[in-house]
Structure 1
């Protein structure tokens, strides 16, 4: 199945009436984060791709391929909302295909689809919220370093890694996590409430499953892959059109220097850690 329809052969197929429907496909791959970096997803980078895909008037549906271990809950919700807004505005059905993972924020985005198709070995779910950090109190004591913090506002230094952890700080973080978790739960129930086959106590613990178990639990609708699903739904002559970011005409690769290089290394390690949570 060819992915491009231009040129003489495309013109001949159209003239002979043998040209099948073109199915726009948006690939969402990477960690979800507000910061714009290669391999990361956020609303600013994704919105133009979605606009182009949903703008293809003749397309019977839009396919979104999700491959993400999660990340920012805000960016996840914004992307999911944009998908639903465009689906309503353009009257398009949305089919989500899960590759390696649609976990945490990645699953939040997947739920925006009218159907979710996963590979049997895909990772799906992880409907929860996590906050992680480090504590260096004993380390700086051994080095003979004294931490000096002056704030205007009693809670300004919440969870400072160089100060002892305070129970009231932990309680506040747990409250925030609970509220964000509820937003996630509400969206899943709104979109898939009638399809879920397990109780809340099983589904919303942050646990994740394979595509096979996800199908049993109602987290996904079927097992399959992109090309097979497109052919099955839209015919053997259906063609896939990948909606890719537009490259700048005179774009040059970014070279990290100093602090930028250190930030790039830190970002890479952070992203790898998110994928590693799921053995990927």
Structure 2
């Protein structure tokens, strides 16, 4: 028994020391993480090199040596003639926005837009490859404002939608001078939705009181645990209608060709139908459009990366995984399919 008592004391002291060391290491990691968060960096990739590498790899496999030699000679001659003529290709800046519920990609978008506007001219173009099913109103409002800066600067803006631009996603897409969509991309959902469970009857059944104290008649309208009133519901619905009206006005300002009352019903349309509703301008994938532009312009892909600590990366990974699971299940429940 004495041995066990001594061993337990030794084990307790060892665990205490290990915990203390872990706490110190965690504190150091957090401090270093905050230091690293002080800045990020902008990555710029020349997409012409990417398309050229694809083309040359295929040419090298398909053409014989004589054909390949003649082709390279012709390309070199055309390049020299272009340089001699003093012609400068326009620049196309390519941005990617993959939206979640909080429009988190807007944090990077703001820096990318700031960078390109420091050099872009009205002779250039900005292409945004946009994918988003929407989310929080204020978050997508801010993200939309970043794209509006491009329009205000007079730089042509093209938005490409390969899969989905709905709700807040379409709020961003409508800012483009031109919207391109894949034939089966999902667009629209110009509406506002809010939903929450209410556990009041469950709490009442188990004799549990829940009190909310407020100052201001409409500080709280609908609650999760309290008893909701008709007056509260009416006010909440009124707020939704106001937000919907602002959404409609925003879309109508950038897409005046729309019959806004006909499309602002919360419905979504696939690419071909969206073209008929004038929600998009052309049916074309981003790959097709960019590969065409690469023949006549210099393409630069911009990506801003913010330095994050290990804890932040783990948290973001967990959040992204949860968002992905919820989105997949929602898609399975709500999206049309080609099978049953």
Tell me how large the CA RMSD over aligned residues is: 3.4
CA distance in 2, matches of 1:186, 1:78: 16
Where does 1:131-146 land on structure 2 (aligned, <5 Å)?
A: 131-146=194-209
- TM-score, scaled relative to structure 2: 0.66
Kindly tell me: are residues 152 and 81 of structure 1, through their superposed partners in 2, closer, same or farther at Cα, counting changes over 3 Å?
Answer: closer
Pairing partner for 2:112 from 49, 53, 61: 49
Kindly tell me: are residues 192 and 270 of structure 1, through their superposed partners in 2, closer, same or farther at Cα, counting changes over 3 Å?
Answer: same
CA drift at 1:225 = 1.3
Correspondence for 1:37: none
Pairing partner for 1:206 from 251, 266, 286: 266
1:244 match: secondary structure: strand
Kindly tell me: are residues 61 and 262 of structure 1, through their superposed partners in 2, closer, same or farther at Cα, counting changes over 3 Å?
Answer: closer
CA drift at 1:129 = 0.6
CA distance in 2, matches of 1:275, 1:46: 26
- The answer as to whether partners of 2:120 and 2:155 remain within 8 angstroms in 1 is no
Correspondence for 2:172: 109
CA distance in 2, matches of 1:222, 1:67: 17
- The answer as to whether partners of 2:170 and 2:187 remain within 8 angstroms in 1 is yes
CA drift at 1:137 = 1.5
CA drift at 1:130 = 0.7
- The answer as to whether partners of 1:70 and 1:274 remain within 8 angstroms in 2 is no
Count of aligned pairs between the two proteins: 261
Pairing partner for 1:81 from 125, 145, 155: 145
- The answer as to whether partners of 1:256 and 1:264 remain within 8 angstroms in 2 is no
CA distance in 1, matches of 2:217, 2:286: 53
Q: Which runs of 5+ in 1 are unaligned?
A: 35-39
CA distance in 1, matches of 2:228, 2:110: 40
- The answer as to whether partners of 2:91 and 2:297 remain within 8 angstroms in 1 is yes
Kindly tell me: are residues 192 and 261 of structure 1, through their superposed partners in 2, closer, same or farther at Cα, counting changes over 3 Å?
Answer: closer
Correspondence for 1:119: 182
Correspondence for 1:173: 236
Correspondence for 1:246: 305
Where does 1:196-235 land on structure 2 (aligned, <5 Å)?
A: 196=258, 198=259, 200=261, 202-232=262-292, 234=293
- TM-score, scaled relative to structure 1: 0.78
Q: Which runs of 5+ in 2 are unaligned?
A: 1-45, 54-74
Correspondence for 1:3: 47
Kindly tell me: are residues 102 and 262 of structure 1, through their superposed partners in 2, closer, same or farther at Cα, counting changes over 3 Å?
Answer: closer
Larger radius of gyration: 2
CA distance in 2, matches of 1:50, 1:261: 25
- The answer as to whether partners of 1:67 and 1:99 remain within 8 angstroms in 2 is yes
CA drift at 1:144 = 3.6
Kindly tell me: are residues 252 and 239 of structure 1, through their superposed partners in 2, closer, same or farther at Cα, counting changes over 3 Å?
Answer: farther
CA distance in 2, matches of 1:261, 1:64: 24
1:52 match: secondary structure: helix
CA distance in 2, matches of 1:274, 1:239: 39
Kindly tell me: are residues 239 and 32 of structure 1, through their superposed partners in 2, closer, same or farther at Cα, counting changes over 3 Å?
Answer: farther
After the TM superposition, which of the residue ranges 270-279 and 217-226 deviates more from structure 2? 270-279
- The answer as to whether partners of 1:230 and 1:238 remain within 8 angstroms in 2 is no
